[in-house]
Amino acid sequence: MKKNIYNILKGTFLVSDDSFRNWRFILFISGLAIIMIASSHSADKKVYEIARLKNEVKEMRSAFVDGRSKLMRLKMESHVIKAMKEKGLAISENPPQKIKVKKQN
């Protein structure tokens, strides 16, 4: 047991006659580690992208709500009356009358 640990620390398992098998295993484990690191980086990138898109959606939603509230204020009758007074138009004193058109055959 003590000899095996000493051989591992010394690195003789990498230069011995049957070391080809050990090198294949080491390269296999290294390849798996590289794939795992790449997968982790890809997942992190996606998490950051999702967070950025959520912030963008929040900003767009608040801009939409702000625009909608401005539109509601512009459509109010009091605002329309005020804007028309500036242009010289006033509210009619007489209520509107319906005009009926009869069809001619």
The pLDDT value recorded for residue 74 is 92
In this predicted model, what pLDDT tens digit does every residue of 31-86 receive, in sequence order? 999 999 999 999 999 999 999 999 999 999 999 999 999 999 999 988 998 989 99
Tally of domains in the chain: 1
Choice between 10 and 47, residue whose per-residue pLDDT is larger: 47
Q: Determine the Cα–Cα distance for residues 52 and 46; give it in Å rounded to an integer.
A: 10
Does residue 103 lie within any of the structural domains?
no
Does residue 82 lie within any of the structural domains?
yes
pLDDT at 24 exceeding the cut of 90: no
The parent domain of residue 23 ranges over: 2-86
Determine how many CB atoms are found less than 10 A away from the CB of residue 26: 13
Does residue 102 lie within any of the structural domains?
no
Choice between 4 and 27, residue whose per-residue pLDDT is larger: 27
Question: CA dihedral in degrees (18, 19, 21, 22; nearest 10)?
Answer: 140
Q: Is the pTM of this model over 0.85?
A: no
